[in-house]
């Protein structure tokens, strides 16, 4: 990061604690973090990296239709997710695997979606899934859902009561490409108009598949929100402490009734857009090397070592991540196709004659094929 950069950064790329000028106002939000919290951040990032690698491998082995890698974006995701409270509600795109992990969903749900075994993957209304809403594949659509949800939270009186168990915020994740979508601008408008308890968390991973962020915007993306009357900040998205502190501050303020805010986390998609993509067609080796040198996990590892984390901790984390991946692989291979009936169920909440008729027809047709065999 350049000198006098407006970017919030606590850790240098070598893991040295050296807050930028912009980071100073966020320092208080780090004060109550313990060594255990720091190690939890590290474990979250390491496990999600290992999870992501395993899923990429599973796709390459034909076990998944598609995989959108999160490799490189772990600090942005883990820091922001760890800054949220249990009652907060988080709306992801389709790449927030580490956020889902932190919020406690059964991560197999994400695999189900990408394997073609389920459309939604997990029940976002089940409290054990941490208010982590379902993935949304149409770019930017979820920003409006989040804003509407946040309007409802405010109508329900769950903002600004001063009770930390009650006050609730909504956080929505979106990417640099989506900032060009009308829905994102409209959600800024509705959020500002309604002063929703909401944080817009942008992961600027520099690429919308093959299109660089310079094609989406001539100004830093965090400045966009200000034109809508929404305060915003740019952070080093590969610094988990910056992600945590910035999100903590703005979620706290949203819960307190101070309205929406936007965070732009500068990060990089080390992997492909999805396993169907080939980044070598548009990304130079130098670009990749630049960002690999800023790897969020290596950086935090270096920091933790200066804080006394020993080899045994890192070895145990690797083992934990390997066990996690092995279990995931085992459970992935055991996944079966959903029953045909699932195609017809829940198209509507209430009975629907046409769908019922077509369901009955397919059942009878399938039965006739079996009887004829």
Partner 1 sequence: MPASVEELPLAKALTAGLRAAMATDERVILMGEDIGTLGGVFRITEGLQAEFGKKRVLDTPLAESGIIGTAVGLAMRGYRPVCEIQFDGFIYPGFDQITSQLAKMTNRTSGTVPMPVVIRVPYGGHIGAVEHHQESPEAYFVHTAGLRVVSPSTPNDAYWMIQEAIASDDPVMFFEPKSRYWPKGPVDFSASAVPLHSTRVVRTGTDVTLIAHGAMVSTLLQAAQVAADEGVSVEVLDLRSLSPIDFGPIISSVEKTGRLIVCQEAPGFVSVGSEIAATVAERAFFSLQSPVLRVSGFDTPYPSSKIESFYLPDADRVLEAIDRSLAY
Active site residue 218: no
Residues 188 to 227 in contact with partner 1, rule: CB under 8 A: 189-190, 193
CB of 125 to partner 1, least distance (A): 5
Cα separation, 181 vs 31, whole angstroms: 38
Cα–Cα distance measured from residue 370 to residue 102, given in angstroms and rounded to the nearest whole number: 46
- Closer CB to partner 1, residue 28 or residue 152? 152
Residue keyed to tokens 């993935």: 135
CB contact at 8 A, 247 and 83: yes
Binding region for partner 1 (CB under 8 A) out of 186-194, 209-217, 257-265, 323-331: 186-194
Contacting residue, 74, 88, 183, 239, with partner 1 by CB under 8 A: 183
Q: Of the two residues 60 and 352, which places its CB atom closer to partner 1 in the complex?
A: 352
**Does residue 149 bind partner 1 (CB under 8 A)?**
yes
Q: For residue 103, state whether it binds partner 1 (rule: CB under 8 A).
A: no
The tokens for 23 are 């980071």
Q: Which of 25, 106, 186, 252 binds partner 1 (CB under 8 A)?
A: 186
Told to check if 364 binds partner 1 by CB under 8 A, we report no
Give CA–CA dist 100/57, Å, rounded.
20
Q: What is the DSSP letter of 132?
A: B
Q: How far is the CB of 231 from partner 1 (least distance, A)?
A: 19
* Count of Cβ atoms closer than 10 Å to residue 357 Cβ: 10
Contact 254, 197 (CB under 8 A): yes
**Least distance in Å: CB of 154 to partner 1?**
9
What does the chain come to in residues? 373
Q: How far apart, in whole angstroms, are the C-alpha atoms of residue 244 and residue 296?
A: 13
Give the residue, chosen from 148, 160, 231, 279, that forms a contact with partner 1 under the rule CB under 8 A. 148
**Please, which residues bridge with residue 90 across strands?**
132, 171
3-state secondary structure of 292: helix
Does residue 354 bind partner 1 (CB under 8 A)?
A: yes
Q: Per CB under 8 A, does 336 bind partner 1?
A: no
| 125 near partner 1 (CB under 8 A) | yes
Provide the minimum distance between the beta carbon of 79 and partner 1 in the complex, in angstroms, as a whole number.
25
Q: Residue 341, interface with partner 1 (CB under 8 A)? A: no
Shortest Å distance, C-beta 113 to partner 1: 10
CA quadruple 36, 42, 43, 48: dihedral sign: positive
What residues have CB less than 8 Å from 197, skipping those under 6 apart? 150, 153, 154, 158, 159, 167, 168, 169, 170, 254, 255, 257, 259, 260
Q: Catalytic residue, from 95, 115, 269, 294: name it.
A: 269
Annotated catalytic residue: which of 282, 305, 329, 331? 282
**Residue positions annotated with a catalytic role:** 269, 273, 282
Judged by the rule CB under 8 A, the positions of this chain that interact with partner 1 are 118-120, 123-126, 133-134, 136, 138, 141, 143-153, 155-156, 182-183, 186-187, 189-190, 193, 342, 345-350, 352-355
């Amino acid at each position: 990061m350049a000198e006098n950069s407006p970017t919030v950064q606590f850790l240098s790329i070598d893991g040295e604690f050296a807050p930028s000028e912009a980071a100073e106002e966020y320092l208080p939000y780090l004060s109550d973090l313990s060594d255990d919290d720091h190690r939890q951040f590290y474990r979250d990032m390491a496990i999600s990296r290992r999870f992501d690698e395993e899923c990429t491998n599973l796709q390459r082995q034909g076990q998944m239709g598609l995989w959108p890698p999160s490799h490189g974006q772990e600090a942005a995701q883990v820091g922001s997710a760890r800054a949220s409270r249990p009652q907060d509600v988080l709306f992801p795109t389709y790449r927030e695997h580490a956020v889902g992990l932190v919020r406690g969903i059964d991560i197999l749900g994400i695999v189900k979606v990408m394997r073609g075994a389920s459309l939604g993957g997990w029940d976002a209304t089940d409290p054990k899934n941490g208010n982590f809403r379902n993935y949304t594949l149409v770019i930017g659509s979820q920003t409006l859902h989040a804003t509407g949800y946040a309007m409802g939270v405010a109508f329900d009186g769950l903002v600004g009561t001063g009770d930390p168990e009650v006050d609730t915020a909504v956080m929505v994740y979106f990417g640099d490409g989506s900032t060009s979508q009308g829905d994102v601008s409209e959600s800024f408008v509705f959020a500002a108009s309604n002063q929703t308890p909401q944080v817009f968390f942008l992961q600027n991973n520099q690429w919308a598949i093959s299109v660089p962020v310079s094609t989406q915007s001539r100004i830093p993306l965090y400045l966009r929100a200000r034109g809508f009357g929404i305060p915003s900040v740019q952070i080093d998205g590969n610094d988990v402490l910056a992600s945590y502190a910035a999100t903590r501050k703005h979620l706290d303020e949203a819960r307190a009734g101070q309205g929406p805010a936007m965070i732009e986390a500068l990060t990089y998609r080390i992997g492909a857009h999805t396993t169907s993509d080939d980044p070598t067609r548009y990304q130079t080796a130098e670009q990749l090397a630049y960002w690999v040198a800023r790897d969020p996990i290596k950086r935090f590892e270096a920091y933790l070592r200066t804080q006394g984390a020993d080899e045994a901790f890192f070895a145990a984390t690797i083992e934990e991540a390997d066990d996690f991946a092995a279990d995931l692989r085992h459970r992935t291979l055991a996944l079966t196709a959903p029953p045909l009936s699932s195609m017809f169920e829940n198209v509507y909440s209430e009975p629907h004659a046409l769908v019922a008729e077509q369901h009955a027809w397919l059942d009878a047709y399938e039965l006739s094929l079996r009887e004829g065999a």
